[in-house]
Structures are given as C-alpha cells and as structure tokens.
Amino acid sequence: MAKKPAESADGVAKVLELIKENGVEYVDLRFTDPKGKWQHTAQHVSTVDADTLKDGFMFDGSSIAGWKAINESDMILQPDLDTAVMDPFAAKPSLILFCDIIEPATGQGYARDPRSTAKKVEAYVKSTGIGDTIFIGAEAEFFIFDSVKFGTGGNFGTYQLDSIEGPGSSLKDYPEGNMGHRPAVKGGYFPVPPVDGDSDLRAEMLSAMGEMGLPIEKHHHEVAQSQHELGTRFNSLTKMADQMQIYKYCVHNVAHSYGKTATFMPKPIYGDNGSGMHTHASIWKAGKPLFAGNGYADLSEMCLYFIGGVIKHAKAINAFTNPATNSYKRLIPGFEAPVLLAYSARNRSASCRIPYTTSPKAKRVEVRFPDPTANPYLSFAALAMAGLDGIKNKIHPGDPMDKDLYELPPEELKGIPTVCGSLREALQSLEADHEFLLQGDVFSKEQIESYIEIKWKEVYRFEHTPHPVEFEMYYSA
C-alpha cells in the first residue's frame, strides 16, 4: 500500500504564495467518498502553514459511509499540493486542495480511499512494464431542470420534473410568454438557439471549468430534451478523475446560479435517452501510443486484449461504472444504450467503440456503458484493471461487430454477451469476479466488500419500495 507522500518544499512554497497572492481566507480540503460524492472541510487560513500542508489535517472518518467505525475514526487529510486551485463560486476567497486519506497509525494510504485506488492503478501499470501512463477521457452527460420535486414515505412516492424544454412545456404559460422554441423528443442533437435555450448556460459552465484549470474543448446539447454535454481534454487516470469532480462541481453551481438544477442521474425522463459517461482509454510507454497498430481499425494486439478484458469482466465492473439502480433504466436497447458487449470501429451501438482517427496518438478504445453516477476514481480504476487483465492474459475479444447491433436477428444476438440488467446482478457479478481487481494491491478485498455492502442497501431500499407504476398496473387486480 502506498505510503504517505512527502510534500516537497517547493510545492508548499507555491501553495503559500498562491494563498498570499489571492488573499485567501479559507483553504477548502476536498476528498471523495466511496459513492463518488465530493466532500469538504474548510480551514481558516490562520491554521494553514508549511507544517500543516506537509503533515496534513486530522478529521473524523466515521461519518463517511463505508469508512471507519467510531472507535477508530481519526484519519488524516493529506493535501495534494499540485491540485491547488481557487474556488470561483465561494463568497470568501477560498483555495481548494484535493486530498488523499492517510491512516495515522501507519502513515499509509487508506485502503478504502477512492483517490488512492486510482493512484495505485497508475503505479501498477508501471510495475507490470506494460506501459508508463494510462490516459482516460470521459464524456459525462447531464440534465438541466427548472424545478425538481420528489419524496417518499410509508404511503406515498412521487416525483415531478419541470423544464422549459420538457414534456408539456409547449402548453404552459410563462411570465415572458411561451415562445415555442424547444427541441422535440429526441430532437436535441443539436439545433442552434433559440431552440437550444441553454447554450449560454453551458458556455458559462465550461468557462468556469477553464478557470479551475481544466483543459476545456466544447459544449453542446444532447439528444434528449433538457440534456447536455461539455467536453474537456483527456488526462492521466487520477487527474481525469479529479477533472470529473471539478466538472460536476461547475455544472451544479452554475446551474444553481441561474435558478436551475442539474443532475447526473442516468435516466430521469421516461421514454427518452439517458445520460452516459463514455470513457476513452489508451496506454502509452516512453512517449509512444501502444494502442495503435496494424490490426483491425489500425489497433495493436495490446488494444484488442484490453478490449477482451473489459468484455470478460464487464458485468463485474458494472458495479463501479453503473453503480445506481437508475443506471439500468438507461441500459436497455433502443436509446443508443450500449447493452451488447461487442467492439466495432465507429459503430455507436457497440459497447466498445474505436473512434475514427488518422493519428496513432489518438488511437484509443471508447467504453460506452459507464454513466456519470459512477465514482470516477473507482470507475476508471476498475475499467483499467479489467483491460490490464486482458493484456496480461491475452484475452482476445473475438471478431468485431460492424453491423447495427440493434437490428440483429434473434439468432445472431444469442451469442453476444450483455451488460448487467440490474444493480443486483452487478453486485452479484462483482462478488463472483473480483480477483483481477486485487492484482498489485490496487483494490483491497475489504474495500470491495465495504463498497458492495453500501450498494446492497440501495438495492434493498429500491426493491422494497412500491413504485407509482405498480399502482397503475396492479391496484385493480
């Protein structure tokens, strides 16, 4: 297990200078819990000096689901000084620092800390000699609503979503009048304003990400009504997971500032497309891209083995890449959802797609089944470990599928494996198939078990709660 990192004097000096230059009043220590939610605690600047930046800050880990018991709750938030960035949404000048979780008794990284797991994947890639860098690019889609109401109880369960783009909005009265410009169902990809009414909102989200140091690229409306996507440049695995936390933070806060609300829930709207987090992966060594070659779609044998590992372990890694009960309302045929475990060049109906490129440096595999409820550190780590297992054991994915997989006749579909159909199935698959995650001590058995325990609680709550649709179907039975 990784030991507590020694922060360099240079790194400390840079952070202290940043604090001075920006008149920082609070240092916001951020970390990620097992579910993927960004957590924080803020230190007044008077408590921050060279020693605390090097030694870290004590905190109580017992209140974080899946972490410490109350009798062993003391833990250390160890700032990663290279991540220092100003918070553009704070009323008082605040500096954000990403933190790793350290065990005080041993000075080692905490086995259940998602960010530490991501770092261990990167170390494992180097230790195997397969490569020295694994790059990840992630495309997280999301919905923006004007109002969200929901609640459950012993004798009720309800939700109501409202959006100026959404179902029924064409007949509503608005203070400024109903202008009638909005995307049709499945018509959001992608007309210009005024049909695309949130173009300026997305631009502000993307610019906020740029202010926070993300290498920004693009923004656009997505297929569904009220659905959107922003694009940032790929990065090494841990840094890409860090980027995804900033991505979500900016999306939520900019939407909030507009009086709107954003969600990364995969399937909030019945009958329309859900939100995915297509994840691109490639491995490099000594500045050379290792996924480019002379095989199918100009892929290397290594890349094909990586795909083979992803397909073999897909059901197990679904527990990390698709960790919500709602995830499996997206993973159904007919909504561009990549249910079938096959690979293909450019074919978006395959779960593993090879994007077209003429540059060997851009050669990569796009895994299309993940969604943005995933903890990015654990999702990227699990995906990488599945692919690395494929490389180590030379797991070939078989022949590519260049047909439209949604139009295949039943006899051809029989031989194609699928992703899980429920979170229950994903957790059972992870329980049965997780040895590949333990290689190189990247994941630990107790980490996987505690994660599964958290997720089983969600499954039980979901399965035991009556649903409004059930009243429509069965009340008069």
Active site residues: 60, 139, 141, 222, 229, 278, 348, 366, 368
Contact (Cβ atoms closer than 8 angstroms) between residue 171 and residue 180:
no
Distance CA 323, CA 317 (A): 9
Which residues make Cβ contacts (< 8 Å) with residue 17, sequence separation at least 6? none
Residue 184 has which token pair?
């049709």
Q: Cα torsion for 299, 363, 327, 31, to the nearest 10°?
A: 130
C-alpha atoms less than 13 angstroms from C-alpha of 59 in its C-beta half-sphere: 23
Which residues make Cβ contacts (< 8 Å) with residue 289, sequence separation at least 6? 282, 360, 361, 363
Residue 253 has which token pair?
């806060």
Distance CA 78, CA 71 (A): 21
